[in-house]
Amino acid sequence: MISSKFIHIMVSLTNKVSIFFTFALCLISAALSAQVTSSIDSTKIKIGQQITFKVEVEADTTDLVVFPEGQTFSPLEMIESYKVDTTKNNAKYQLVKRYGLTQFDSGSYTIPKQKIIIGSKTFFTDSLRVEVSNIEVDTTKQGLYDIKPFIQVEKSSSNRWLIILGILLAVLFIAFLLYWLIWRKKPLSEEAKIALLPPYDRAKLALKKLDESTYLQNAELKDYYSELTFIIRKYLDEKVYDKALESTTDELISRLNLIKDANQIELSKDDIRNLETILKRADLVKFAKSAPDIELAKLDRNTIDIEIDHVKEALPEPTEEEKLLNAQYKEEQALKKKRKKILLTVFISLFLVIATFVGLGIKYGFSYVKDTLIGHESKELLEGNWVRSEYGIPPVTISTPKVLKRLETPVPAELKESVKIKAFGYGSVLDVFSVIVSTTTVTKAGEENPINLKEAPEAAIRQLEAKGIKDIIVKREQFITPNAAEGLKTYGTARFPVSNSENVVDGHYAIIHFVAEGEKIMQQIIITWKDDDVYAEKTVERILNSIELKKAEE
């Protein structure tokens, strides 16, 4: 009889074999549920000639298929990505995706394996070999010409001229207001014109206006005599006695007699008596409600007119010294008036400048306003005309404040045959700001993976150290571009040397590396900037956000 132990062993073995076959069937079914094949229409092309890389996928109708996009075909360059051709066959889809590829350097190149995602599974195409040969040119039939000279290209216009125009208009408007309100010779009013007349002419004009009044017609003798006595008192106050307006009649007459006796004025006793009579009659009319005849009031008016003439004739002629003092007085008054206008203009201008500075400072920040007025190199870079361009092959698309110029990058003699470096940059690590974009291509055949993304930052750090940068602090993180290209970001702080000096300043750096799996091309972007520079930080942020590995359809 077969023992129970033997039976137990056989049953266990049978179960394991069943599980193994079940797992194998699952793998086979998974492999059969989706198939990926790739091919090219030609393995030999001329420089710049296009070949078509075709990927065929057979998948279930429920599976999502993701084809490669971007510059994943390096060292060949993708120049066009065609639409997917779809054919349904029962419960499966037949998908065909084509890519137009080319290369502008002769040599033997390998199209790397391309990753195809079907549902939750990943498949890879075969790597294919392509020979790129030079185009033979018959120079005996082809005309040769000199290199065309550089052409000066005008900078693109910006809104800066609008800002300048707005400032000029504001300044002109303020200057116009200051001129109109302060410096303009304003038309004189009637009162101002009368005030500029000599005392004698003003007195005569006042008598004429009194004649045009309706005081006598309306029997308003109090008002009439008040105006009449004010005219003579005002004239005497300006030409004879400077307290004539505030003196009583007796005080004024007493002072006139004293002045006459002192021979300061050649005024007769009859003139003084006539003035005393009229002034006292006016006091009676104003304070005792006396009502003289209308004709007597007219006679008093004529008497005052005559006495004004007599006073003028009695006044001594001004001496040359008095005339000079009068001219100096007028000149001083004019200078005082001009000085007042200048002070008022300066005060208003300073007030407007300070108010504008404070207002803009509150809205935009005082440091920003100060840097705008005085100027700041980093601010001018940030707010200047930015340039978006492509550098290297495959191209790195990046926006920068200035166009990056080609740089001569030395390569060791032993590596010249196997390594090619193309670099473009602006500034250097000794400047306030610098950015350098470089593409390194390994042309040496036979190496499966010559560029290691993890080792690339270390080489870049050594480059910085070779330029005198010290105390480098290194941080790393993944970097993903807006079009989903993945790279490695190395960043941190360091101490940068100052040009023509032994001093160092604190600064920052950022290094971006892109290396496609299995490729022999590394793309590197190095940015350096000084510490505590908010404009440089915004510039770097804008540059980093603009980096793309350009897609063919763009």
Number of domain units in the chain: 5
At residue 276, the pLDDT reads 92
Domain presence at residue 167: yes
Nearest Cα residue to 461 out of 481, 475, 441, 444:
475
Domain presence at residue 153: no
Whether residues 356 and 466 share a domain: the answer is: no
| pLDDT at residue 237 is higher than 80 | yes
Whether residues 249 and 113 share a domain: the answer is: no
Residue ranges making up the domain that contains 241: 197-316
Position 121: which residue type?
Answer: K
Given pLDDT bands bounded at 50, 70 and 90, which one contains residue 25?
Answer: very low
Whether residues 180 and 202 share a domain: the answer is: no
Nearest Cα residue to 546 out of 407, 438, 387:
387
At residue 169, the pLDDT reads 87
Mean pLDDT over 473-496 rounds to 87
Domain presence at residue 174: yes
Whether residues 264 and 226 share a domain: the answer is: yes
Could you report the per-residue pLDDT of 144-200, keeping only the tens digit for each? 555 556 555 455 444 556 767 877 888 888 888 888 888 887 777 777 777 778 889
Whether residues 405 and 427 share a domain: the answer is: yes
Could you report the per-residue pLDDT of 371-390, keeping only the tens digit for each? 666 656 777 788 888 888 88
514/527 Cα distance (integer angstroms): 15
Torsion of CA 414, 419, 425, 429, to 10 degrees: -50
Whether residues 465 and 521 share a domain: the answer is: yes
CA distances from 533 to 421, 444, 501 (A): 31, 43, 21
Given pLDDT bands bounded at 50, 70 and 90, which one contains residue 13?
Answer: very low
Strands 128-133, 44-46: pairing kind: parallel
* DSSP classification of residue 296: H
Burial class (CB in 10 A: 0-12, 13-18, 19+), 283: middle
Domain presence at residue 152: no
167/186 Cα distance (integer angstroms): 28
Task: Please say which residue of 113, 133, 153 terminates a domain.
Answer: 133
At residue 10, the pLDDT reads 46
Whether residues 343 and 368 share a domain: the answer is: yes
Domain presence at residue 155: no
Whether residues 273 and 188 share a domain: the answer is: no
Whether residues 289 and 412 share a domain: the answer is: no
Whether residues 122 and 245 share a domain: the answer is: no
Could you report the per-residue pLDDT of 103-132, keeping only the tens digit for each? 888 888 888 888 888 887 888 888 888 888
Whether residues 418 and 532 share a domain: the answer is: yes
b (16+ CB within 10 A) / e for 375-410: ebebbebbbeebeeeebbbbbbbbebbeebeeeeee
Given pLDDT bands bounded at 50, 70 and 90, which one contains residue 360?
Answer: confident
Mean pLDDT over 422-432 rounds to 81
CATH number of residue 107's parent domain: 2.60.40.10
Domain presence at residue 302: yes
Structure token digits, residue 268: 């007769």
Task: Please say which residue of 292, 316, 340 terminates a domain.
Answer: 316
Q: What's the length of the chain?
A: 554
| pLDDT at residue 81 is higher than 60 | yes
Domain presence at residue 494: yes
Whether residues 388 and 530 share a domain: the answer is: yes
Mean pLDDT over 81-102 rounds to 86
Domain presence at residue 15: no
Given pLDDT bands bounded at 50, 70 and 90, which one contains residue 134?
Answer: confident
